[in-house]
């Protein structure tokens, strides 16, 4: 018993001296609990809705009000033509478009059946399925109310909805999951590979020799990144080709746009790994921190599985600095929609800014260590 207590005391003192491990043991479980508790939600809210109302009757306004008052849809646009609706969908300005035909109110009052069209962005199969379910429930409810009010016309057929899903007509979950997996695999591979590079130099004792060489911190960081960038880019392309062969991932956009998006994303991931490497003193710590900053944000806060619109405001704000969030928008736009490069220039600019920021931070941190 005394030996057990002695070992326990020694281990406790060792953990107390290792402050980083102590912080991980104390705060990471609580952090996981909060993150999973808030982020694991399949409810989709604040869905951007466009309404093309060609009837403009009391009945059509009532249907639109039912959508906006449901708490799930936010009316953000009122296009007047199919071309304008298509442009809004391509640019991700709206997720759903409700098209109300002419003579809707007149046909309802005459006892004839009416069909309204629902256009749904299907690049996210889970969200699209949920949205279609919300819309069907709302339309059926409004239709039942209208029929009940027209008691003198028992043959009134009410309103029917004809959903049409774009970009992923069959709502195949593979077309939703595979782009996220590409981002997930590329991020973890790039971050972990570079996170161990500088720490390895420290452990081998070669960092002192590098400090004496006529190489500045920023050139050293960029030189470290180039080999890993080539390997990571080749790995990402292999994953893309395998996804096309095994899961039927389409390629509706241009390859140069895809290469640009992947390259910017990988540069940010490599820079993040180098920044982790300059902060850690051992490969074990570097590996753990690299998994923490790459695995969890990419999985939970990028829109890969859980929609960002359904998260609390604090988590939505944190997701703004997750590069996979912007990469997924660009990647899905290229491979699923065939959108031109100009429609997601904001996402590419965000990836470029993130890559430049983490590279500079890694160089600044390394300069402090070399002094």
Q: What is the pLDDT of residues 283-325, one digit of tens each?
A: 788 888 888 888 888 888 888 877 887 788 888 888 889 999 9
**CB-based contact 370:217 (threshold 8 Å):** yes
> Residue 281, Cα to own-chain centre: how many angstroms?
32
The tens digit of pLDDT for each residue in 193-215 reads 788 777 777 776 666 666 665 66
Joined together, the tokens standing for residue 371 give 């002094």
Q: Average the pLDDT over each of 69-83, 164-178, 202-216, 287-301 and give the range with the smallest value.
A: 202-216
State what percent of residues in the chain have pLDDT above 70.
Answer: 79
Query: ∠185-187-189 over CA atoms, to 5°?
Result: 65
Q: What is the pLDDT of residue 41?
A: 56
Q: Which tens digit of pLDDT belongs to each residue from 340-365?
A: 888 888 999 999 999 999 988 988 88
Q: With 50 as the cut, is the pLDDT of residue 7 above it? A: no
Stretch (H or E) spanning 265: helix 255-279
- In this predicted model, which residue has the larger pLDDT, 190 or 96? 96
pTM: 0.71
Tell me what pLDDT residue 44 has: 79
- Roughly how many angstroms between the first and final C-alpha of the chain, as a whole number? 49
Query: pLDDT tens digits for 125-153?
Result: 778 888 888 898 898 888 888 777 765 45
Pairing of the two strands 47-53 and 73-77: parallel
Domains assigned to the chain: 47-166 (3.40.1710.10), 173-370 (no CATH)
Q: 10 Å Cβ neighbour count for 333?
A: 26
Say how many residues make up the chain. 371
Residue 151: CB atoms within 10 A of its CB come to 8
242-287, pLDDT tens digit by residue? Answer: 888 887 888 888 999 999 999 999 999 988 988 888 888 787 888 8
Exposure of 66 in the CB half-sphere (CA atoms within 13 A): 20
Is 169's pLDDT higher than 80? Answer: no
Left (φ > 0), alpha (ψ -120 to 50) or beta: where does 111 sit?
left
Q: What are phi and psi for residue 34, nearest 5 degrees?
A: -65, -45
Minimum mean pLDDT among 104-118, 167-181, 336-350: which range? Answer: 167-181
Q: Provide CB contacts within 8 A for 263, sequence distance 6+.
A: 229, 233
C-beta atoms surrounding 71 within 10 Å: 9
């Amino acid at each position: 018993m005394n030996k057990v207590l002695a070992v326990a005391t020694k281990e406790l003192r060792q953990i107390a001296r290792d402050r980083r491990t102590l912080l991980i043991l104390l705060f990471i479980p609580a952090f996981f609990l909060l993150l999973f508790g808030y982020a694991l939600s399949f409810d989709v809210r604040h869905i951007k809705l466009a309404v093309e109302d060609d009837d403009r009757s009391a009945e059509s306004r009532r249907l639109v009000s039912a959508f906006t008052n449901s708490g799930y849809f936010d009316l953000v646009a009122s296009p007047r033509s199919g071309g304008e609706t298509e442009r809004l969908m391509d640019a991700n300005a709206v997720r759903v478009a409700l098209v109300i035909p002419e003579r809707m109110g007149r046909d309802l009052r005459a006892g004839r059946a009416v069909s309204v069209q629902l256009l749904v962005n299907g690049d996210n199969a889970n969200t699209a399925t949920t949205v279609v379910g919300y819309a069907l429930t709302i339309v059926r409810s409004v239709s039942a109310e209208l029929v009940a009010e027209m008691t003198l016309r028992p043959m009134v057929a009410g309103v029917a909805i004809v959903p049409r899903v774009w970009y992923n007509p069959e709502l195949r979950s593979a077309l939703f999951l595979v782009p996220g997996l590409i981002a997930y695999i590329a991020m973890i591979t790039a971050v972990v590979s570079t996170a161990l590079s500088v720490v390895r130099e420290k452990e081998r004792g070669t960092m002192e020799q590098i400090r004496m060489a006529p190489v500045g911190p920023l050139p050293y960081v960029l030189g470290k990144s180039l080999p890993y960038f080539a390997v990571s880019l080749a790995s990402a392309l292999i994953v893309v080709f395998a996804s096309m062969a095994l899961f039927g991932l389409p390629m509706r956009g241009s390859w140069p746009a895809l290469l640009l998006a992947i390259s910017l994303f990988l540069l940010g991931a490599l820079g993040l790994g180098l920044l982790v490497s300059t902060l850690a003193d051992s490969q074990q710590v570097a590996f753990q921190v690299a998994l923490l900053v790459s695995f969890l944000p990419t999985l939970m806060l990028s829109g890969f599985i859980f929609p960002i619109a359904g998260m609390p405001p604090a988590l939505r704000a944190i997701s703004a600095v997750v590069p996979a969030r912007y990469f997924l928008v660009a990647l899905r736009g290229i491979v699923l929609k065939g959108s031109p490069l100009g429609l997601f220039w904001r996402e590419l600019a965000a990836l470029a800014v993130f890559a430049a920021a983490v590279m500079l931070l890694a160089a600044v941190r390394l300069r402090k260590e070399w002094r």
